[in-house]
Amino acid sequence: MSYVLKRLGRSFLTIFVVVSASFGLIRLLPGGPLDYLRAQMIQQGGSDLSTAEINRRIAAQTNIAVDEPVYVQYIDYMTAIFRGDFGQSIWYDQSVAGVIGPAIPWTVFLTATALFLAFTVGVSLGAFMAYKEGSTFDVGSTGVGLVLNSTPGYVVALLFIAFLGYRLQLFPTGGRYASELTPGLNVPFLASVLYHGTLPILSMAIVAFGGWALSMRGNSIRVLGEDYLRVARLRGLPTRRIALRYVARNAILPMYTGLMIAIGTVFGGAVIIENIFAYPGIGFYLIQAINARDSPLMMGAFILITVAMVIGITVADLTYGWLDPRAKGGASRESY
């Protein structure tokens, strides 16, 4: 129990530090977003706006009362953030939650689908490569995996959008679904969502599956050399049972932590891809906020990405011992 409490405490501390750092980025940097926002309001309102009115509007948009002492500003900002109030977006003129909230399902759809495809294909291919170790197929697949694993996702995205999007016009180059459709649980809408998401999903999945395949190959080769597999073969166990119950299970276990971390990056893993395809997700709005110097929206997206990452790592840390009993000993020793 103390091990679990210690891990949860570290997670909350990490989130607290990130939120505190976001306050520092907004408030303490010279010539930062607050000065830009004040100058923008003065330019728009001219002499009609008093200093008090400008400070009131800044406080409404950023949850920071600039006419209060720094420690009061910090307490107000932290209180607002932890109750879910991220302020008002300067660029979109609505609450940050109202901008980010509707974008969350779309980012999850892209990244989760890409992760599922990359992991499934990569693990299956990696296991087959291990069984064919040293063959032409293994050498060729390893080379392809290394190339893809070293290729940035945005390079594949640009190639897709240039050839499949503009030149051949096989897929749309932007948007989440056709503008003439009404969102709902109907076949035309769902088909349009899949159609518009094909290129972004493939852009992320293709470069990711090479890493999973190489990891699975290495783990499988290591497991294939274990003594208990030789005993299983001598006992005459079926090859299918050996492959699935012994080799695959033990080879996938070391990849579990990486998978949970990858799940934790769903909100921030498609920042560049979403902007290349003009796909309005969390990453798309984050880049828009940076370009527009929209500090409340930028910090809201940044905090959301960080919290998702911390949750993914924490879940992986707490559940790995349940999946692999060999890790429980280390966890119990650390808790003392």
Q: Are residues 108 and 81 in the same domain?
A: no
What are the angstrom distances between the C-alpha of 29 and each of 32, 111, 269, 283, 287?
A: 5, 33, 27, 24, 20
Residue 286 burial by Cβ neighbours in a 10 Å radius (0-12, 13-18, 19+): buried
Give the pLDDT confidence score for residue 333 in this predicted structure. Answer: 43
Residue type, 329: G
pLDDT in tens, 273-291: 999 998 998 989 988 888 8
Give the pLDDT confidence score for residue 290 in this predicted structure. Answer: 82
Give the pLDDT confidence score for residue 331 in this predicted structure. Answer: 47
C-alpha span between 133 and 139 (Å, rounded): 8
Report which of 332, 299, 310 is spatially closest to residue 13, judged by C-alpha positions: 310
Give the pLDDT confidence score for residue 65 in this predicted structure. Answer: 67
C-alpha span between 109 and 323 (Å, rounded): 27
Q: Answer whether residue 1 is part of any domain.
A: no
Give the pLDDT confidence score for residue 160 in this predicted structure. Answer: 93
**What is the length of the chain?**
336
Residues 6+ apart with CB under 8 A from 273: 110, 153, 154, 157, 200, 203, 204, 279, 283
Q: Are residues 160 and 287 in the same domain?
A: yes
**Rounded to 5°, angle at Cα 187 from 156 and 176:** 35
First and final C-alpha spacing in the chain? 11
Give the pLDDT confidence score for residue 304 in this predicted structure. Answer: 86
**Rounded to 5°, angle at Cα 308 from 302 and 309:** 90
Give the pLDDT confidence score for residue 312 in this predicted structure. Answer: 83
Count Cα neighbours of 321 within 13 Å in the Cβ-side half-sphere: 13
Pick from 33, 51, 85: which residue ends a domain?
85
Q: Answer whether residue 38 is part of any domain.
A: yes
Stretches in the chain below the pLDDT threshold 70 = 1, 26-38, 40-51, 53, 60-63, 65-67, 239, 244, 269, 321, 323-336
C-alpha span between 214 and 310 (Å, rounded): 26
Q: Answer whether residue 326 is part of any domain.
A: yes
Give the pLDDT confidence score for residue 202 in this predicted structure. Answer: 93
Q: Answer whether residue 93 is part of any domain.
A: no
Pick from 28, 56, 85: which residue ends a domain?
85
Residues 6+ apart with CB under 8 A from 310: 11, 14, 15, 264
Alpha carbon 122 to its chain centroid, in Å, reads 19
Q: Are residues 68 and 150 in the same domain?
A: no
C-alpha span between 292 and 286 (Å, rounded): 10
Residue 7 tokens read as 């891990």
Pick from 85, 118, 140: which residue ends a domain?
85
Residue whose pair of structure tokens reads 């406080």 in the numeric block: 59
| pTM (predicted TM-score) | 0.80
Residue whose pair of structure tokens reads 């009115």 in the numeric block: 53
Per the structure, the complete domain to which residue 111 belongs is given by 101-335
Q: Are residues 166 and 59 in the same domain?
A: no
Q: Answer whether residue 217 is part of any domain.
A: yes
pLDDT in tens, 126-179: 888 888 888 899 899 999 989 988 888 889 999 999 999 899 889 998 889 988
Number of domains in the chain: 2
Q: Are residues 214 and 300 in the same domain?
A: yes
Q: Are residues 77 and 111 in the same domain?
A: no
Q: Are residues 159 and 76 in the same domain?
A: no
Q: Answer whether residue 8 is part of any domain.
A: no
CATH code of the domain containing 170: 1.10.3720.10
Q: Are residues 188 and 242 in the same domain?
A: yes
Give the pLDDT confidence score for residue 190 in this predicted structure. Answer: 92
Q: Are residues 204 and 256 in the same domain?
A: yes
Q: Are residues 56 and 106 in the same domain?
A: no
Residue type, 10: R
Q: Which residues of 112-146 are buried (b: 16+ CB within 10 A; e: fewer)?
A: ebbbebbbebbbebbbbbbbeeeeeebeebbeebe
C-alpha span between 296 and 87 (Å, rounded): 6
